[in-house]
Structure 1
Amino acid sequence: MSRYSLMPLPCRADLFEVAVGWDSGLDTYFITVFGTPVIQREPEVRLWRGNVWRDLVAAQELVAIAGQYAEVPADLTTRLEEDRIAAPHQLRQPINRVISELLGRVPEK
């Protein structure tokens, strides 16, 4: 799993953080957009994609969504694709088999 913290766009003062990355367990990229926290409270989650099986399978799609909320480094697509290659979804790992079974997917033999 990888995670990058992106700086919200200057016009998005209502945001605290935009987190993006690769989740090999769910075989998806993810983005979480956090609102500015209220005193003594956790930041509100404004957007959460990639929290279900294969929700975002293309790094370019993730980067396009992130660009609506945050400053995106020029090499982010490449870094995310490298993360996926370095840590691919492996159904044979016990936790991934459990997740697949819970989601009603038939495990590979």
Structure 2
Amino acid sequence: MRGIRSESRAGSDRNDARDHVGIPARDRRNPQASAFVGWDRPLQTYFAQVLSAPDEDGEEIELVWVGTAFGELPRAVDAIRVLEPYCQIEASLAAQLEIDRMACLATRDGPNQLEAKAFMARLSQIKDGSEPEA
């Protein structure tokens, strides 16, 4: 489709993969907006993010950001559906996102990911009103 630019931005440690999807004129209020979609290996979820064009101070405003909780968007199509109101999606994007996810399958959590996951689990327990494990 016209107006789409997708470039893989997979991290060197393969913890996540991020594709940039150019926003076509579908969102005329924000023609310079940008969208990102990818796989977050530590959170085991796809994510989708849409940012506005930079304002006069150079700040981008977050319009959409999903896939920030463990397992929130388990399928590539779930993340793509979030982006569809904002941009046209290449037919090959779902397959590329699945390839990116599969490339991360053999990667194990490092010390930082393990610590972050333990912290998130403690926060979840506090939120749910249960006691953290000692």
Q: Which TM-score band (shorter chain)?
A: 0.7 to 0.9
- Sort the Cα spacing of 1:89 and 1:48 in 2 relative to 1 into closer, same or farther, 3 A: farther
CA distance in 2, matches of 1:12, 1:70: 7
Q: Percent identity among equivalent residues? A: 25
AA aligned opposite 2:73: L
Query: Of 3, 11, 14, which aligns to 2:29?
Result: 14
CA distance in 1, matches of 2:54, 2:115: 34
Does the 8 Å contact 2:76/2:97 carry over to 1?
Answer: yes
Q: Tell me whether 22-31 or 4-13 shows the greater mean CA deviation.
A: 4-13
Gaps of 5+ in 2: 1-15, 123-134
AA aligned opposite 2:17: S
Q: Hey, what does 1:33 align to over in structure 2?
A: 50
Which TM-score applies when normalising by structure 1?
0.84
CA displacement at 1:90 relative to structure 2: 5.2
CA displacement at 1:14 relative to structure 2: 2.9
Q: Hey, what does 1:5 align to over in structure 2?
A: 20
* Higher RCO (C-alpha under 8 Å, 6+ residues apart): 1
Q: Say whether residues 1:80 and 2:80 are aligned partners.
A: no
- Sort the Cα spacing of 1:92 and 1:31 in 2 relative to 1 into closer, same or farther, 3 A: closer
- Sort the Cα spacing of 1:28 and 1:94 in 2 relative to 1 into closer, same or farther, 3 A: same
> What is the RMSD computed on CA atoms of the aligned residues?
1.9
What SS is found at the alignment partner of 2:50? Answer: strand
- Sort the Cα spacing of 1:89 and 1:36 in 2 relative to 1 into closer, same or farther, 3 A: farther
- Sort the Cα spacing of 1:2 and 1:49 in 2 relative to 1 into closer, same or farther, 3 A: same
Q: How many aligned residue pairs are there?
A: 105
CA distance in 2, matches of 1:11, 1:92: 39
Q: Hey, what does 2:81 align to over in structure 1?
A: 64
Q: Hey, what does 2:11 align to over in structure 1?
A: none
Q: Tell me whether 85-94 or 68-77 shows the greater mean CA deviation.
A: 85-94
